[in-house]
């Protein structure tokens, strides 16, 4: 089993009420890959600059993540995001975004990564997602994430790639925006009418909901008293969700497998927010994940 992910690999500068970091490993592919690495073999595709060094590569490789398709652009700088959170940690304020090496990125997958059974198209330009999807000839299950920027500026390309994949993971506000349907159930059905058989609505501090042709599942997020940095939580969710499915060989997942995957996604997101950047997920072990799955059962069962 293997899971290829394409997405941003970044340096993040983040300020929250709990502190400030000037330069941390970040980006959708980094958060996704670390979370998924606890469940399956993960392979990252994406560009970095000269400033991306052995330390950052080492974080990924220490978790067994393949970095063969991390393309180091000579003379380039790594994607950079600066943001902050005020009192309300549910709202990210972007202060600066520099695409840098991502501006001219043309994805190229090595044979191993093209053959992976599962593919995650992280939040990047929809045309790039489409190119990667076309290259990934071995992929039996493909999921994507996106964002309001692409819904506003590249909606047709986004709808085109959505029609070619199996599973959409979006924030509930993005699902509503993309479909122009304020009701989440109706919005999920509208996405499924385009092709995907699975829609996951990420709801931040409220949890997540899963829609398939014949099942609806919803779960709250774990209430956490000290959310230190929510950056990357959605990508950690996706990593736990798809990593679990790939690790279980569930490339035509049953409703039950999808529910179990939702719990792993929620668990990884809950760890993500407990510390800055990737710090909490980096030092995680499998026993902690199992304990957190049990905590979600305690939280929700009656």
Residues of this chain that interact with a second copy (CB under 8 A) are 87-89, 182-186, 189, 203, 205-207, 209, 211, 216-221, 223-227, 256, 259-260, 262-263, 297, 299-302
Closest distance of CB 105 from a second copy, Å: 36
CB-nearer residue toward a second copy: 283 or 297: 297
Closest distance of CB 115 from a second copy, Å: 31
Task: State the DSSP string of 21-57.
Answer: EEEEEESHHHHHHHHHTTTSEEEEEEEE-TT--HHHH
Closest distance of CB 167 from a second copy, Å: 18
CB-nearer residue toward a second copy: 262 or 284: 262
Q: Quick one: how far is CA 298 from the chain centroid?
A: 26
Helix spans in 63-138 (H): 111-114, 126-135
Answer yes or no: are the C-beta atoms of 217 and 262 closer than 8 Å. yes
Count of other CB atoms within 10 angstroms of residue 160: 16
CB-nearer residue toward a second copy: 14 or 161: 14
CB-nearer residue toward a second copy: 65 or 201: 201
CB-nearer residue toward a second copy: 70 or 219: 219
CB-nearer residue toward a second copy: 62 or 90: 90
Closest distance of CB 98 from a second copy, Å: 30
Closest distance of CB 232 from a second copy, Å: 19
CB-nearer residue toward a second copy: 106 or 225: 225
| Residue whose C-alpha is closest to residue 169's, from 134, 149, 196 | 196
CA-CA-CA-CA dihedral for 172, 7, 168, 2, to nearest 10 = -140
CA-CA-CA-CA dihedral for 162, 49, 10, 164, to nearest 10 = 10
CA angle at 232 for the pair 253 and 189, rounded to the nearest 5°: 40
Contacts of 66 (CB under 8 A, 6+ apart): 41, 42, 43, 44, 112, 113
Closest distance of CB 100 from a second copy, Å: 33
Closest distance of CB 185 from a second copy, Å: 4
First to last CA, the chain: 35
């Amino acid at each position: 089993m293997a899971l290829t992910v394409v997405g941003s690999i970044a340096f993040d500068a983040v300020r929250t009420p709990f502190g400030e970091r000037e330069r941390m490993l970040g980006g959708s592919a980094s958060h996704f890959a670390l979370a998924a690495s606890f469940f399956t073999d993960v392979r990252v595709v994406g560009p970095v600059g000269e400033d991306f060094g052995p330390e950052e590569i080492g974080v990924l490789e220490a978790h067994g993540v393949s970095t063969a398709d991390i393309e180091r652009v000579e003379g380039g700088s790594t994607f950079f995001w600066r943001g902050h959170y005020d009192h309300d940690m549910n709202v990210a304020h972007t202060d600066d975004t520099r695409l840098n090496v991502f501006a001219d990125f043309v994805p190229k997958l090595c044979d191993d990564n093209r053959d992976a059974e599962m593919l995650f198209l992280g939040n990047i330009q929809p045309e790039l997602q489409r190119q990667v999807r076309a290259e990934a000839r071995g992929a039996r299950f493909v999921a994507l994430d996106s964002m309001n920027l692409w819904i506003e500026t590249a909606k047709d390309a986004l709808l085109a790639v959505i029609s070619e994949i199996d599973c959409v993971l979006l924030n509930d506000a993005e699902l509503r925006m993309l479909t122009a349907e304020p009701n989440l159930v109706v919005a999920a059905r509208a996405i499924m009418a385009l092709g995907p058989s699975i829609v996951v609505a990420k709801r931040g501090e409220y949890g997540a909901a899963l829609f398939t042709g014949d099942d609806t599942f919803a779960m709250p997020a774990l209430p956490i008293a000290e959310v230190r940095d929510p950056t990357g939580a959605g990508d950690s969710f996706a990593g736990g969700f798809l990593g679990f499915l790939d690790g279980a060989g569930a490339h035509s997942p049953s409703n039950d497998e999808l529910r179990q995957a939702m719990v792993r996604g929620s668990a990884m997101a809950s760890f993500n927010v407990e510390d800055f950047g990737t710090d909490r997920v980096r030092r995680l072990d499998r026993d902690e994940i199992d304990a957190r799955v049990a905590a979600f059962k305690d939280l929700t069962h009656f």
